[in-house]
Amino acid sequence: MLTVNLERLGLKPGDWLLDAGCGGGRHCFGAFDTGAHVVGLDLDLEGLAMTRAGLKQRQRDGNVGTGGAVHGNVFRLPFPDDRFDRVICSEVMEHVHDYEAAVAELTRVLRPGGSMAITIPTATTEIFYLRLTRDYFESPGGHIRIFAPRTLARAMGRAGLRVDGVRFAHSLHSPYWMLRAVLGLHDENPSPTRAYRRFLMDASLSPRWSRIERLLDWVWPKSLILYGTRVATGSRQ
């Protein structure tokens, strides 16, 4: 269930890709399987352990990529300038206090001509969930802002990125988080929540549901993706 389309990102075998805020590693795994050199980065140690384990398993299975995961944050990336061909930052900007500085730092490590994909929750779903429960924004580590796409696009432009396109994703996930908001944001055990999570897993493997979701993404998407290309040095923050 990748949010970023790796083909749209321009990822090719041999590219160096940074997944900043990799979580459990889903984009790392997808990129690894294409033959890329993958580096995942996150603050969450549990998520990093899952990423490392998944990458090692793929190496044992003989997949053609290489990969690793490091502990860190998007404000001080432990990499030199222009290091990566591609950068992914998925569902992070709504959590950080200074998204402008984060975008600038991600751009610093992207080579000129390289591409970046940043994903955020859609404002429509965020407003809806907020009306269902204050916990969605008031829990520790939760979301601290609702983004208008143009706000993030302007930050990308100031950092030296040309925004090339916008896409939507995960419409089938929108009702899932509605259930979580109603039945208990921190409780995954209610029967409706567990049943819908099983449906999402099955739907991710179904070509029919994948086609349906692509249509619904124009109506009620959970995530928005901005794709950009580094065309200038941009500001440093």
Residue-wise pLDDT for 166-201, tens only, equals 999 999 999 999 999 899 888 888 999 999 999 999
DSSP assigned state of 85: E
Contact 146, 126 (CB under 8 A): yes
Helix (H) or strand (E) holding 17: strand 16-20
d(CA 75, CA 63): 32
3-state SS assignment for residue 226: strand
DSSP 87-133: EEEES-TTT-S-HHHHHHHHHHTEEEEEEEEEEEE-HHHHHHHHHH-
Q: pLDDT averaged over the chain?
A: 92
pLDDT in tens, 118-154: 999 999 999 998 888 888 777 777 788 899 999 999 9
In tens, the pLDDT along 54-79 reads: 999 998 888 778 999 999 999 999 99
Cα–Cα distance for residue pair 50/69, rounded to 1 Å: 10
* Rounded alpha-carbon distances, angstroms, from residue 226 to 34, 82, 115, 191: 22, 20, 11, 35
Domain ranges within the chain, ordered by starting residue = 73-230
* CA–CA separation, 33 and 59 (whole Å): 10
Question: Which CATH code fits 73-230?
Answer: 3.40.50.150
Q: What is the largest CA-CA distance in the chain?
A: 51
